[in-house]
Amino acid sequence: MSRSTLPLLDSSLYPQVWQQQTFTSPKALLLSMLSATLSRDITIDASAFTKQLLADDVYQEWINTTVFGRYLHRNFTAFYQQTEDSFNTDMPALFRQELVRHAQYLPLNQVLFFAGDMPKSVRQTKTLTTTVNPATTIINAQKMSQNLSKKLTVNNSKLIINQITITGKQVLGFAIRHNKRTSERLRNEVLILDFQDLRLVNEQAIEDIKKSNIDDSILLRSYEMR
């Protein structure tokens, strides 16, 4: 089955202006947002970047090449993770096969983000939910850190941010089309459905950019996917 490759979104989105500064790459913008998060300069808002995405012709092409939205994504995840329903053991594979049939190759050098530790199942299932919105990633990481702090009764949990760069020509996925009238529109998610290899290439503790004495710290992990 022949597949097309989505156009490179980052080449259309960047340079990007945020807080009166211009950033030429997703990582540069993410680091600036992280710096503001640590120093408490501003409250990170995902909606501004979402507006930029929705106004971008390439992103419109990304979300218009798929019929799949958040509802189907939730059901796919539920089916794929189920282990006890012996009457529907074939459903995850059938569901995945149908999604893959409509997926496209992600462009080389495209950067994607996700928050928290890498799920242990990712390398086996070859399935991962990411986002192109760095602000969404930071907000998700903050929520995860707060939830962990409550469970562990500590106040200095790390914010874990992951950056993936597409380095192979056969990474399959698609952008999830969200309802523009709900808060889900701020997710700007990209569902990765298949890849050959995922490699951690760098792990950086971002504490040197602090502007004040704060207990929080950030762990930035960089991956290459092919």
pTM for this model (two decimals) = 0.85
Q: Taking the CB of residue 27, how many other CB atoms lie within 10 A of it?
A: 16
Distance of CA 125 to the CA centre of its chain: 17
**Beta carbons within 8 Å of 131's beta carbon, 6+ residues apart:** 112, 113, 114, 137, 187, 188, 189, 190
What does the pLDDT profile of the chain (226 residues) look like in tens digits?
578 999 999 999 999 999 999 999 999 999 999 988 877 768 889 999 999 999 999 999 998 877 664 556 555 666 555 555 554 556 567 777 777 888 899 999 999 999 999 999 899 889 899 999 999 999 999 988 777 655 554 545 678 999 999 999 999 999 988 766 666 778 899 999 999 999 999 999 876 554 444 445 789 999 999 9
